[in-house]
Structure 1
Amino acid sequence: MGTGTAMVAAYVLAGELARARGDHRVAFARYESRLRKYAEGCQAGGGRTGKFYAPATSAGIRFRDALLSRPLFLNAMLRMGERVSTTVELPVYE
């Protein structure tokens, strides 16, 4: 979720900076209020999946690869990620 979160955050920060017309304090406050819950959810997801995706042992790597090669497990993980990624509503900026 790191790259996706960064893209969403960059979009919102740029939009809020433009909307605030140079008042960075206003822009930063709007940015934080809009993204805090979303970012916290993404970070929590990373804490649960980081060790799984980057195991420290060769046995862990084999276990991860075996699970990810099973469509049922892979689809379940993708569905869990979709729930997190839909917790922010992106505004349309001019």
Structure 2
Amino acid sequence: MLSVEISEVSRNVVRCWWEQTNQRGNLYHLADVQELNADRLEHYISSFGGFALVIGGSPCNNLAGSNRHHRDGLKAKESSLFYDYFCILDLVKGIMARYN
């Protein structure tokens, strides 16, 4: 499994869950989604034999209605990670198409 999470606390939660539920295989962590480029994706897809599922979401700090001060939408620094997720999905589709 490949997990991309900037929060060390969240990475530890995933690691603990992985260990406590006796998951098979290896758990790989990346701290920054922007480190996940085409070469790295190619490596992980090749190593894992493909991805069965890709799940993601961007921080909603600048999208939430309760944020009265900085509701900058997808143009804001944190929320713009949505576009990184979209690019990753596109790369995964292209790489997986070559494997099928």
The two structures have a TM-score, normalised by structure 1, of 0.32
Q: Which has the higher helix share?
A: 1
Q: Which has the higher strand share?
A: 2
**Over alpha carbons, which structure has the higher Rg?**
1
Structure of greater relative contact order (alpha carbons < 8 Å, 6+ residues apart): 1
